[in-house]
Structure 1
């Protein structure tokens, strides 16, 4: 038996299978970690986006919740691979793509992870700085009444310090911290909702007409791409310490519930606000934190702003932790703690650039990151389908090792499926950035680019379905994938 690590010791496991002696816990523990960093005020703006497609209030609520559930269930299914193998998700995808073939989707997953955490750290620092400006404008406001460099730097350093400390210690401390954050943020959000609900104009909710069936489906897909599909490369990272025989339904259920519950409640609030007061909805869509906190009295604005920052830090912690595992999956020969530190430096540099150097880069940066979801969704679809083969082979962790040791350098059926589907997906999505828009949407007419297909990221889901379908044909129907030496009894071995 291996000594079980505690929350006060630095996690030593990286992309190796977690030994059975270190496995513990129940799937219910997954709820808090997903809940804590999805209960963000940004969820209100998601509801406003779905409603803004041209749906009625009830249609937007149904479409949004349905999209959340569908995409989050996929995250839960992928998370089952964690307890079955003890591996992080981006290491287990080596089963499908091969050791070197896996580096292509893993690189984009890493880029996406790092990029979104840069924006989260930036948002956390500016949110805290705005609190200081409101409390002590003479000290922390500049000549224009905006956040001063001093205010931003103080919060920037504080956010980085907390995020790095928890992420370096690893899984056990993360699970404990996220549990407390889940309780704190949920209580404060309930109070926030109670204070915002009276501002909803209930008499105006029925003014918007119902949208078409196509627009409704577009709302479902938009919700899927906003929440859920972006988490496909995370699931197993937090479930891999569960015992090997943990029931799949528990992993799927608690993961799905932790994601869906907070974002669904906030989506409903966002839809009701936008349907009742279009001007409020427009303001909240552009600046959800600023527009919504302006409605609060000072006595609640202060603690709630701090909770907003905490919820953003919760998301940053899990993201930096997973990005460290992604670097290891790419083959970087360092410890998990070291890769986490490296990622923190990269993220800090990116956030510093956004905060203090560029005032026009953020929109382009986010537009680029949104396109990466095409690759992420396709990778997730192929990995989900490959679970059939992985289960049949007993979840043999040798498949994550180099060629000659049980794995493959690359599995062309998966790699070809990923590339073909990604090209099609990029041809079906659009971008708000004029430069990026020149290289995407090449399969859409000008009319389609302005319609539901172009504005809801339908191409992400289409790419996911094409990738999984093509992989199924090549691997299971035409059987073009030759058997490897991994077709043997499962072996609990270290993965390099």
Structure 2
């Protein structure tokens, strides 16, 4: 591993080669170093579309579909679970995003405060796998199915096109990513809004799932967990897209724009997804292609536009996944001895993600439920540690520790491991593995993320005074 740049010595206004500023069609230089004041630009409100556009996609809709089709909830039970899960996740996302301008560094670099320099390799590694591989594959497959349904071209060919587009955008970096999300926002918003109105006027809110609406408290908690897992899955990226804002940007406006963009987009589309189950059944749509089944409720032209929007929305999501996956990888401290280190890593993740997506084409929907819950098993405890660390530090960011290789904070690592290690064996409820409590009390469902988050926060708060601060090698 090579040393990270230290604040004050990174390329900035004194480095003519960096000159990036607000240029859109330019490859973002550097890696995970702090953003110099001369490079800062933008306004907090831009985070609204940054976090709205990537959620205007079928993967969001399908979480709502799962709530009824798999977890056995009625429509109104699903709505309650969606509101709760998204409310909690969006609140956390807003709070974390608010630190971005003051920190000026990627989210996983900020995470070093809670986990230490080397201890941060654990959450950064988990995020690298989750975003650069897992979410990349999920969204690429979703977009490929939509293009296949729209054009009739082979799904593999559609996958190649989708991957090339999203990797190209992520390769150029922050400014092009932000510009793409801004342009995609009105297009996606209008198409999905019109489709949502039609679905919500052609479904039966009193319809009962095939199992008689027997999801109960277990199904409700499973839905909350899946919803929280989907939305909170963006939180480890939060500061990545706020760090270029001027350092004196309002934390309140920054957090509000990010949190609202997240909450509005995910909540509306998940509710539409829950409604689409009865709407597609009433319309007699029986396709095995989940995207085709969803648009089967819509009239011809709108159906085609929605399929195009599904593909565009998946690209909007994956440019963030590839970009932030690369940032997380660099935050682990690995040496990439290139001036355009982030861009090169982003391209490499595109290749890896393509291979995983190709393997997932055969059974895309089967593992989505499990994937959402597995994500929340680590993100819940991670949030517990990070939010508690922010509270205990009163929001201060000791920048001298962010790139200090000797800085250790064992409290964070221990709390994360305990949170995951206790909650998963005892409270998880997966197809491949059922924890002790759900085995004895099946009606409980999966409450691993509730327990993991609370336990990690409590352990960190207890250990922080003894195992953190300025302990160094």
Summarize the Cα distance change of 1:21–1:126 in structure 2 as closer, same or farther, 3 Å threshold: same
Deviation at 1:34, TM superposition (A): 0.8
Residues 66 and 369 of structure 2 are in contact (CA less than 8 Å); yes or no, is this contact kept in structure 1? no
Task: Select 1:466's aligned residue among 439, 447, 455.
Answer: 455
Task: Select 2:182's aligned residue among 172, 179, 184.
Answer: 179
Map of 1:295-306 to 2, 5 A cutoff?
295-306=297-308
Q: Provide the rounded CA distance (Å) in 1 between the counterparts of 2:268 and 2:457.
A: 31
Deviation at 1:360, TM superposition (A): 5.4
Map of 1:71-470 to 2, 5 A cutoff?
71-113=89-131, 114-133=133-152, 140=153, 151-201=154-204, 214=217, 218=221, 221-222=224-225, 224-274=227-277, 279=281, 288-334=290-336, 335-355=341-361, 359=362, 363=366, 367=370, 370-391=373-394, 394-404=396-406, 408=407, 410-427=408-425, 428-432=427-431, 434=432, 437=433, 441-448=434-441, 450-454=442-446, 458-470=447-459
The number of equivalent residue pairs is: 448
Summarize the Cα distance change of 1:49–1:161 in structure 2 as closer, same or farther, 3 Å threshold: closer
Map of 1:60-75 to 2, 5 A cutoff?
60-75=78-93
Q: Provide the rounded CA distance (Å) in 1 between the counterparts of 2:163 and 2:420.
A: 34
Deviation at 1:80, TM superposition (A): 2.0
Summarize the Cα distance change of 1:131–1:24 in structure 2 as closer, same or farther, 3 Å threshold: same
Summarize the Cα distance change of 1:330–1:45 in structure 2 as closer, same or farther, 3 Å threshold: same
Instruction: Note the alpha carbon deviations across 1:422-474, whole angstroms, 9 max, x for none.
Output: 11121211222x3xx2xxx44325243x32423xxx10121011001110011
Deviation at 1:38, TM superposition (A): 0.6
Per mean C-alpha deviation after superposition, the further-off stretch among 117-126 and 70-79 is 117-126
Q: Provide the rounded CA distance (Å) in 1 between the counterparts of 2:108 and 2:284.
A: 38
Other-structure match for 2:8: none
Deviation at 1:195, TM superposition (A): 3.0
Q: TM-score when scaled to structure 2?
A: 0.85
Q: Provide the rounded CA distance (Å) in 2 between the counterparts of 1:283 and 1:380.
A: 40
Q: Provide the rounded CA distance (Å) in 2 between the counterparts of 1:465 and 1:485.
A: 26
Deviation at 1:10, TM superposition (A): 1.0
Instruction: Note the alpha carbon deviations across 1:370-410, whole angstroms, 9 max, x for none.
Output: 42431222112101111134446x41222112345xxx1x3
Summarize the Cα distance change of 1:255–1:196 in structure 2 as closer, same or farther, 3 Å threshold: same
Q: Report SS of the residue matched to 1:234.
A: helix
Q: Provide the rounded CA distance (Å) in 2 between the counterparts of 1:388 and 1:446.
A: 36
Per mean C-alpha deviation after superposition, the further-off stretch among 110-119 and 346-355 is 346-355
Instruction: Note the alpha carbon deviations across 1:123-163, whole angstroms, 9 max, x for none.
Output: 21232122222xxxxxx4xxxxxxxxxx2343222212211
Other-structure match for 1:481: 467
Residues 167 and 317 of structure 1 are in contact (CA less than 8 Å); yes or no, is this contact kept in structure 2? yes
Q: Which has the larger radius of gyration?
A: 1
Q: Report SS of the residue matched to 1:244.
A: coil
Deviation at 1:84, TM superposition (A): 1.5
Q: Provide the rounded CA distance (Å) in 2 between the counterparts of 1:210 and 1:125.
A: 32
Q: Provide the rounded CA distance (Å) in 1 between the counterparts of 2:287 and 2:391.
A: 41
Summarize the Cα distance change of 1:217–1:247 in structure 2 as closer, same or farther, 3 Å threshold: farther
Residues 382 and 416 of structure 2 are in contact (CA less than 8 Å); yes or no, is this contact kept in structure 1? yes
Q: Which runs of 5+ in 1 are unaligned?
A: 134-139, 141-150, 487-496
Q: Provide the rounded CA distance (Å) in 2 between the counterparts of 1:206 and 1:308.
A: 26
Q: Provide the rounded CA distance (Å) in 2 between the counterparts of 1:126 and 1:278.
A: 18
Residues 108 and 331 of structure 2 are in contact (CA less than 8 Å); yes or no, is this contact kept in structure 1? yes
Q: Report SS of the residue matched to 1:233.
A: helix
Q: Provide the rounded CA distance (Å) in 2 between the counterparts of 1:223 and 1:348.
A: 24
Residues 17 and 87 of structure 1 are in contact (CA less than 8 Å); yes or no, is this contact kept in structure 2? yes
Deviation at 1:100, TM superposition (A): 0.8
Q: Provide the rounded CA distance (Å) in 2 between the counterparts of 1:265 and 1:188.
A: 13
Summarize the Cα distance change of 1:360–1:195 in structure 2 as closer, same or farther, 3 Å threshold: closer
Residues 108 and 372 of structure 1 are in contact (CA less than 8 Å); yes or no, is this contact kept in structure 2? no
Q: Which runs of 5+ in 2 are unaligned?
A: 1-11, 14-18
